[in-house]
């Protein structure tokens, strides 16, 4: 492959310039004149609306449109390059809207991929099938496999743990439990001997990035293909994401493209409505985020809703805590970091039985400080109140 002369920059488009002028005139980004049926030009307008301080390095990135993301790469004379557009689907609002943008742009060779972690809600699995049926875009399902890692962990436990003086009954129990279960999330935690946390988020890399790269992208990286990995990431979601570029090159003909990076959350749901696509029903049932059920970063309110609506999720986590504790050299593993509970003392003996998911659910039913129950929510719970609940105003 060789580099070709740069094409006209997206900053020269009328839509981008209009967005920049709107920002200078202190107009709201809600003033975008383009409808959700024009997702391609709307994306450019919203990009122009933002100041350059939203981009890492302080300079405006030219890569606001998929057709420009890989504009610097071309085939040698006489060669042809195939473009593959692959949308990563999580079952959440942002990835669904990203798929709708790709559809609106009519990009070639469009497909999607869903990484099944084994830790999603059943309604999310149903929603992924719904998206494939409604959009007509094929969605490939991939799963991580930790069979080899678990085999190495068994051998390590059988030798090194014994050498370190771990009791024989503990070693034998761990060796017995370190077998593949067929559930990627549980197998990952058994291998690691712990659950992911906000400071050790190995789950995303091991359960999503690696299997997608190995099973979807690598077979296409033949030197004759351009691969655009469409990612539903928005700057509003976190400080780290705020400074991501719209597009970057991963190597081997693979580019990461984030068309929704400058979108407000309101536009995401507008895109669903404009395309006639329903959002994941979990957003109407108290979930602020959709993906793992629950995510290790879920909020107190979300955990309370989960315990109320889906007690089977809590029962599953309770059993997983028991199993992972057996595979842990410490003999203890809790799904949520115990220190999230403000009533935990530094000298407490942390175990799954004393500081596990049940204690966190109890804490989720308290008011601020964790020492007094939230009576309003408890009364609603005792009455089996399962009315529509949405952090995004979808129930109105």
Q: What SS3 state is found at 230? A: strand
In terms of pLDDT, which residue wins out, 376 or 311? 311
164 has pLDDT over 90: yes
If one counts the domains in the chain, the total is 2
Q: Is residue 151 in some structural domain?
A: yes
Q: What is the pLDDT of residue 54?
A: 35
The label of the residue with tokens 């390590």 reads: 156
Peptide bond preceding 294: is omega within 30 degrees of 0, i.e. cis? yes
For residues 45 and 34, the answer to whether their CB atoms sit within 8 Å is yes
Q: Is residue 13 in some structural domain?
A: no
For residues 347 and 336, the answer to whether their CB atoms sit within 8 Å is no
- Phi first, then psi: give them for residue 342, nearest 5 degrees: -70, -10
pLDDT tens-digit profile of 70-111? 554 544 555 567 889 999 999 999 999 999 988 888 888 999
pLDDT tens-digit profile of 19-60? 888 878 878 767 888 776 677 677 667 767 654 333 333 333
The label of the residue with tokens 């972690």 reads: 117
Residue 291, sorted as left (phi over 0), alpha (psi -120 to 50) or beta, turns out to be: left
Q: Is residue 193 in some structural domain?
A: no
Q: Is residue 158 in some structural domain?
A: yes
Q: What SS3 state is found at 292? A: strand
Look up the domain containing 315 and give its range.
299-382
Helices then strands, counting H and E runs in the chain, come out as 18, 8
Q: What is the pLDDT of residue 205?
A: 95
* Axis-axis angle for helices 39-49, 93-105 (nearest 10): 120
Helix ranges (H only) for 213-257 are 239-242
pLDDT tens-digit profile of 271-313? 898 889 999 999 999 888 898 999 998 888 899 999 999 999 9
Last residue of a domain, one of 157, 179, 201: 179
Weakest mean pLDDT among 69-73, 116-120, 139-143, 343-347: 69-73
Q: What is the pLDDT of residue 19?
A: 82
Q: Is residue 345 in some structural domain?
A: yes
Q: Is residue 374 in some structural domain?
A: yes
Q: What is the pLDDT of residue 203?
A: 95
Q: Is residue 377 in some structural domain?
A: yes
Q: Is residue 361 in some structural domain?
A: yes
Last residue of a domain, one of 155, 179, 203: 179
Per-residue b/e over 277-314, b at no fewer than 16 CB within 10 Å? bebbbbbbbbbbbbbbbbbbebbbbbbbbbbbbbeebb
């Amino acid at each position: 492959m060789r580099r070709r002369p740069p094409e006209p920059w997206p900053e020269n488009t009328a839509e981008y310039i209009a967005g920049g002028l709107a920002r200078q005139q202190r107009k709201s980004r809600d003033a975008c004149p383009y409808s959700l049926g024009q997702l391609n030009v709307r994306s450019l307008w919203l990009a122009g609306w933002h100041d350059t301080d939203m981009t890492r390095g302080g300079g405006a990135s030219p890569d606001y449109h998929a057709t420009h993301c890989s504009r610097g790469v071309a085939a040698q004379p006489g060669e042809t390059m195939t473009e593959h557009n692959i949308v990563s689907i999580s079952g959440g609002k942002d990835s669904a809207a990203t798929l709708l943008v790709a559809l609106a742009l009519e990009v070639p060779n469009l497909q999607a991929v869903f990484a099944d972690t084994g830790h999603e809600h059943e309604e999310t699995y149903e929603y992924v099938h719904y998206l494939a049926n409604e959009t007509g875009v094929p969605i490939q399902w991939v799963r991580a496999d930790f069979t080899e890692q678990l085999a190495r962990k068994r051998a390590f436990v059988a030798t090194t743990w014994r050498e370190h003086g771990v009791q024989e009954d503990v070693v034998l129990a761990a060796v017995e439990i370190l077998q593949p279960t067929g559930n990627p999330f549980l197998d990952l935690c058994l291998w690691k001997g712990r659950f992911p946390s906000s400071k050790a988020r190995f789950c995303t890399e091991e359960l999503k990035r690696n299997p997608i790269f190995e099973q979807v992208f690598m077979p296409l990286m033949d030197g004759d293909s351009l691969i655009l990995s469409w990612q539903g990431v928005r700057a509003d979601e976190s400080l780290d994401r705020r400074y991501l570029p719209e597009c970057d090159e991963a190597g081997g003909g693979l580019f990461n493209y984030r068309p929704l990076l400058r979108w407000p959350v309101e536009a995401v749901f507008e895109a669903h409505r404009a395309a006639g696509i329903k959002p994941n029903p979990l957003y109407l049932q108290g979930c602020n985020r959709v993906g793992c059920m629950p995510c290790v970063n879920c909020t107190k309110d979300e955990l309370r809703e989960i315990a109320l609506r889906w007690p089977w999720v809590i029962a599953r986590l309770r059993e997983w805590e028991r199993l992972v504790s057996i595979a842990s050299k410490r003999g203890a593993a809790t799904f949520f970091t115990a220190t999230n509970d403000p009533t935990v003392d530094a000298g407490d003996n942390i175990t799954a039985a004393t500081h596990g998911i049940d204690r966190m659910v109890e804490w989720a039913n308290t008011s601020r400080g964790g020492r007094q129950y939230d009576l309003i929510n408890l009364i609603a719970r005792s009455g089996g109140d399962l009315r529509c609940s949405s952090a995004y105003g979808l129930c109105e």
